[in-house]
Amino acid sequence: MFRRARYQQGSLQRIARKRGPDCWFFRWYEIDANGSKRYRKSVVGTVEEYPTEASAQNAISTLRFNINQQAPRSEWQPYSVKDLINHYKETELRIEPSKGEPDEDEKAYSTKKTYTIFLDRWIEPRWGPFRLREVRTVAVEEWLKRLTLSSGKMMARGTKAKTRNIMHALFNHAIRYEWLPQNSNPITRVRQSAKREHIPEVLDVAEFQLLLAELPMRERTLVILDAVTGLRRSELLALKWSDIDFDQFQIQVSRSIFHQVVGRCKTEASRKPVPLDASVAEEVWLWKQSTLYNQPEDWVFASIRMKGKQPLWPDSMMSRNIQPAARKVGILKRIGWHTFRHTLATVLKANGEDVKVVQELLRHANSRITLDVYTQALTPAKREAQSKVANQILPKKVVAGES
């Protein structure tokens, strides 16, 4: 006995076996050089592996795409967006155990997770049943205008723009595999503003110093390092002591971490060395002398609960330690890790720093972010700019004997 389900290409069959559980078989045909059909089949797996027809269908998506990729173009037919999403996940978003340094073209772990969430939560439920050529620019625009979160709250413009960009990447994937003609991406002309709806919170110098005075050494060192270097939280928590050169006063940013999965940095610009002001280096050195985990391959901000095997979780540190300290000293602004990066950018701008220096200190990838109109900034200029910020926001130390 078997049950058959017909698809756009080939058919899926559930075959009963004398021994063991039923098996799913995928059957299709190929056209040989003489124009004759040759029938093929492949075992998909058992019903224990794929208990439902839908799960078996998902499993054969990549196989069906690969088969059709090799077929004559006259045999090709439009595919559904759901099929395209499955193939995109299989080829571009698959998360596998680390095998050393990832390929240069491979997406970062955080990017893969984010793309998968957006595809599963919003894009596939709305567009999955559509054939690729049925997706229209204006229809996507109208959908984005009405898009809401699970809470019922209207989605922010920045999140809508990210949804739009992920759809654009998805259809570029179809073009790359020649399932759509060149220059036929329907998302290219979709208009969606990414303009912020709220001005990001920043701390002024007085607020920053109040916060530092309330924090214990570990959190204080974290916040100082973040505010003066502008490191992203994924880079900050991924630092090892071997990355910090106290002789040359610089940090080598060589990795990032997301949900305790270590990967490479966001962009090539992110991997450039970061200058470390002497006063900040002193704060970090004092923390090194205090922590139990201070060997070259130890995490700079290691988790005591995990016996140093993992770094701290940034969200827990922020919600349990830093935000309560801010509220205790009367800071009512909504503080997050990016607040310190924004604070650095704001203070640099107020100091009248060269825009290229700002770009390189923040390690932005391109000119769209920091108005890249000048020549490359020299390291001394970056170090001087950073030192100005450090001198402003760090409390002044009283030397013994001074009144």
The string of pLDDT tens digits covering residues 228-268 is 998 889 899 999 999 999 999 999 988 888 888 887 776 66
- The SS3 call for residue 171 is helix
Which residues are registered as beta bridge partners of 257? Answer: 262
pTM above the 0.75 mark?
no
pLDDT in tens, 182-226: 999 999 999 998 877 777 788 888 999 999 999 999 999 999 999
Look at the domain 78-198 and name its fold.
Answer: DNA polymerase; domain 1 (1.10.150)
Specify whether the CB–CB gap between 82 and 129 falls below 8 A.
Answer: yes
Quick: pLDDT tens for 114-123: 999 999 999 9
Task: Supply the CATH classification number for the domain 205-393.
Answer: 1.10.443.10
User: Nearest CA to 253 among 267, 27, 63?
Assistant: 267
Say whether pLDDT at 316 is over 80.
Answer: yes
Q: What strands, in cross-sheet order, belong to the sheet with 37-46?
A: 2-6, 11-15, 23-31, 37-46
d(CA 283, CA 286): 5
Closest CA to 357 of 389, 328, 334: 389
Would you kindly state where each structural domain of the chain is located, as residue ranges? 1-56, 78-198, 205-393
Q: How confident is the model at residue 6 (pLDDT cuts 50, 70, 90)?
A: very low
Q: What is the pLDDT of residue 270?
A: 65
pLDDT tens-digit series, residues 258-298? 888 887 776 665 677 899 999 999 999 999 999 999 999 99
Across 6-10, 223-227, 342-346, 350-354, least confident range = 6-10
Pairing between β-strand 37-46 and β-strand 244-245 as defined by DSSP bridges: unpaired
What is the full DSSP assignment across 33-55? TTS-EEEEEEEEEETTTS-SHHH
Evaluate if residue 2 carries a pLDDT over 60: no
Measured from the Cβ of residue 196, the count of other Cβ atoms closer than 10 Å reads 10
